[in-house]
Chains A and B, each alone.
Chain A
Amino acid sequence: MTTLTLRAAPPERLDLAGLTPAALAGLSDGEAARLAVGTSRHALALGDCFAITLDGSDELRIVGATERLDRIGAGLAAGRIVVEGDVGQRLGAGMTGGTITVSGSAGPFAGTAARGGTIRIAGDAAESAGGAIHGAPAGLDGATLLIGGRAGDRLGDRMRAGLIVVREAGDHAASRMIAGTIVAEAVGDHPGYGMRRGTLVAARHGALLPTFVETGRQDLVVLRLLAKSIATHAPWAAALLRGPMRRYGGDLATLGKGELFTPVG
């Protein structure tokens, strides 16, 4: 396993985009140490901040990570990245495959534009997890994002495809959602703001928008398909999906093909 061990808290934000197992596999220790990771005029290199152990495997371990490490796993296509600690913004941005596991929490825009693979965050995620960065056409775009703790506001903002499973999320979850699925135990106020299509399942929710209309109690086949798919990732989410559900359609201020499911209770 290739290992990067952070020596000390970095003096600036570091950009680790492209540091994938495949990219590091063909490098010597010297070449890896010279990779630019700084984001200021100080031109920090990987070797300035990390102790590097390369073995050419398809697994990369980042030890002692902090929230100042941005874009970890960005562009990952295959293999595995294991992060011990917290991470900064845009975790796994644009990844197309492989898995990223974070033992701590993640900064904003985790999984943005990720088209494949799985991101698992044990702790919390900041705002716009699975959301689109400013001006981008889409947020999460086919990958699976699993958040063990709480996500901030605008979870899945402009998400286009894929799955997000989270324990709790802030306000405006699934805002401007294009398509995809989000399952949460609880979301804040105004879920689905501007939602065009897609599915949001929440055991509890805050205030609903007036542009979401109840369509009644429905036992839809698609929820069974989702439950079966999610069962391996999050048994609690699968159990939620298997219960009796009330459905709301919206956001009728836009296309209105989105939906919010919440347990009958």
Chain B
Amino acid sequence: MPDLILNGIRVEDTFAEAFDMAGTALVLTADTAEWAMIAAVTMTGFATSVIGCGAEAGIDTVLSPDDTPDGRPGVRVLLFGFDAGGLKDQLLRRVGQCVLTSPGSAVYAGIAWDDPNAAKAIKLGGAIRYFGDGFATAKRIDGRRYWRTPVMDGEFVCEHSVPTIQGAVGGGNLLFLGRRFPDTLRVAEIAVAAARTIPDAILPFPGGVVRSGSKVGARTKGMMASTNDAYCPTLKGRAGSLLPPEVDVVLEIVIDGLSAGAVSAAMRAALHASTAAGADLGLVAVTAGNYGGNLGRHHFHLRDLLGAAA
């Protein structure tokens, strides 16, 4: 397979294989930007992989008071699940345990109700209100219904329900093949920073980076996934290794988005930023992970991402 070149860096002519997911967005607000971020970080914690965590979640963007329903600082977070049922379960757990508990917090739908891709809504505040033990009250403002649950710092305001989105995609990815760990980590950080500028997309792994890329299945019975041995540098030289001799470290970024377009745009931004910085940081090549194309409906070909965004 012929390779491609971007900013002098080799880009393998392959594709990232991604999957349909159930997704939604929330706007979390608080009295200060710091506390809004604390609520967001807590809620999106332990949400790197839907297989092990039940959900994939991350921070999409920081919102100014002008951009939130209650005029306070806010953070928009995205949450993805295997299906609507799994998403609802995780949404209720995470808002109930991580945002309801956070001082001064409030929760609103992060997807516009008139969004053409808005899908079935999940009852959120309408479920959490039972924490109020019958003392909660609802208030309808401009057609949106909010539950006010009495808590020890006043009230927890949470929108009655939040829409999910049709067309959410999880699993866009890029792998950076480098020479040295610090330099390759820096490349990954640059890629993450670029991808995070794209709205409606998140990178759920720690700092946006995953060092333990996986393959489907394992030699050990019962394991759903195991280490991506083809890209482990300590396994170079064995049959199945895909690493050239000069590559001593591989790092991956994974991208989930509310649409395939958001994932594609984030991958494009990451690819361009990483290759632009890659020459000085010993980046050998960029590739992407897939499962042969038979598992995921969405194939993001790196060849299609080489040009500037349309």
The smallest C-beta distance from B289 to any residue of chain A, in angstroms, reads 43
A interface: dominant SS: mixed
The smallest C-beta distance from A164 to any residue of chain B, in angstroms, reads 14
Contact A222 B140 (CB under 8 A): no
Taking CB atoms and an 8 Å cut-off, the chain B residues in 64-80 that contact chain A are 69-72
Residues on the B chain within 8 Å of A228, using CB: 69-71
Quick one: CB contact mask for A220-250 with B, threshold 8 Å, 1 for yes? 1110111111000000000000000000000
Q: Which residue of A lies closest to B137 (CB)?
A: A257
Residues on the A chain within 8 Å of B69, using CB: 225, 228
Interface: B139 (CB within 8 A) = yes
Interface: B106 (CB within 8 A) = yes
Pick from B138, B154, B157: contact of A225, CB below 8 A. Answer: B157
Contact A225 B72 (CB under 8 A): no
The smallest C-beta distance from A249 to any residue of chain B, in angstroms, reads 10
Quick one: CB contact mask for A125-160 with B, threshold 8 Å, 1 for yes? 000000000000000001000000000000000000
Quick one: CB contact mask for B24-38 with A, threshold 8 Å, 1 for yes? 000001000000000
Provide the bound-state CA to CA distance between A199 and B146, in Å: 14
Provide the bound-state CA to CA distance between A219 and B72, in Å: 12
Say whether, besides A219-B154, A220-B154, A225 and B70 are in contact (CB < 8 Å). yes
Q: Which residue of A lies closest to B155 (CB)?
A: A220
Interface: A161 (CB within 8 A) = yes
Contact A221 B139 (CB under 8 A): no
Interface: B196 (CB within 8 A) = no
Contact A218 B146 (CB under 8 A): no
Pick from B70, B139, B154: contact of A181, CB below 8 A. Answer: B139
Contact B142 A222 (CB under 8 A): no
Contact A221 B70 (CB under 8 A): yes
Interface: B272 (CB within 8 A) = no
B interface: dominant SS: strand
Interface: A197 (CB within 8 A) = yes
Say whether, besides A218-B154, A219-B154, A224 and B72 are in contact (CB < 8 Å). yes
Taking CB atoms and an 8 Å cut-off, the chain A residues in 160-202 that contact chain B are 161, 179, 181, 197, 199
Determine which residue in B141, B146, B155 has the highest number of CB atoms from chain A within 10 A of its CB, and name it: B141
Residues on the A chain within 8 Å of B141, using CB: 181, 225-226, 229
Taking CB atoms and an 8 Å cut-off, the chain B residues in 130-163 that contact chain A are 135, 137-142, 146, 148, 154-155, 157
The smallest C-beta distance from A259 to any residue of chain B, in angstroms, reads 8
Provide the bound-state CA to CA distance between A151 and B72, in Å: 34
Determine which residue in A197, A199, A224, A226 has the highest number of CB atoms from chain B within 10 A of its CB, and name it: A224
Give A contacts to B, CB under 8 Å. 142, 161, 179, 181, 197, 199, 218-222, 224-229, 257
11 chain-A/chain-B pairs, Cβ below 8 angstroms:
A181-B139, A220-B148, A220-B155, A221-B29, A221-B106, A224-B72, A225-B70, A225-B157, A228-B69, A229-B141, A229-B142
Given contacts A225-B139, A227-B71, A228-B71, 17 further A-B contacts (CB under 8 A): A142-B140, A181-B139, A218-B154, A220-B148, A220-B155, A220-B157, A221-B29, A221-B72, A221-B154, A221-B155, A221-B157, A222-B146, A222-B155, A225-B146, A225-B157, A229-B141, A229-B142
Give B contacts to A, CB under 8 Å. 29, 69-72, 106, 135, 137-142, 146, 148, 154-155, 157
Give me the 6 closest cross-chain CB pairs, A-B, nearest first. Answer: A224-B70, A221-B157, A221-B106, A229-B141, A229-B142, A221-B70
